[in-house]
Amino acid sequence: MARSARLVIPGMPHHIYLQGNNRQDVFGDEEDYRCYLDWLREAARQYGVDIHAYALLKNRVYLLGTPSDQSGLARMMQWIGRHYVPYFNKKYLRSGTLWEGRFKTSVVETGCLMDCCRYMEMMPVTSGFAATPEAYEWSSYRHHAGIAPSPLIRDHAVYWELGNTPFGREMAYREQFFRAGIDDRLENILTMGWPLGSEAFIRQLEVSTQRQFRMGKRGRPEKFVSK
> CA 30 → CA 16, 33, 34, 144, distances in Å?
22, 5, 6, 21
pLDDT score for 1: 40
Lowest mean pLDDT among 27-36, 57-66, 131-140, 179-188: 179-188
- List the domains of the chain with CATH numbers: 14-209 (3.30.70.1290)
Alpha helices (H) in 55-112, listed in sequence order: 72-91
Chain segment 63-111, per-residue pLDDT in tens: 999 999 999 999 999 999 999 999 999 999 999 899 998 899 999 999 9
What does 14-50 look like in DSSP terms, one character per residue? EEEEEEBGGG--S--SHHHHHHHHHHHHHHHHHTTEE
CB 36 within 8 A of CB 20: no
Chain segment 164-174, per-residue pLDDT in tens: 999 999 999 99
CA atoms within 13 A on the CB side of 105: 21
Report the alpha-carbon distance of residue 122 to residue 167 in Å, rounded: 21
Confidence band for 227, pLDDT divided at 50, 70 and 90 = very low
pLDDT score for 218: 41
Residue 23: CB atoms within 10 A of its CB come to 11
Provide the greatest CA pair distance for the chain.
52
Report the alpha-carbon distance of residue 220 to residue 227 in Å, rounded: 21
Chain segment 99-151, per-residue pLDDT in tens: 998 899 999 999 999 999 999 999 999 999 999 999 999 999 999 999 999 99
Give the contacts of 80 (CB within 8 A, at least 6 positions apart): 36, 39, 40, 43
Radius of gyration of the chain (CA): 17
Q: What mean pLDDT is predicted for residues 36-46?
A: 98
Return the DSSP state at 114. Answer: H
Chain segment 8-25, per-residue pLDDT in tens: 999 999 999 999 999 999
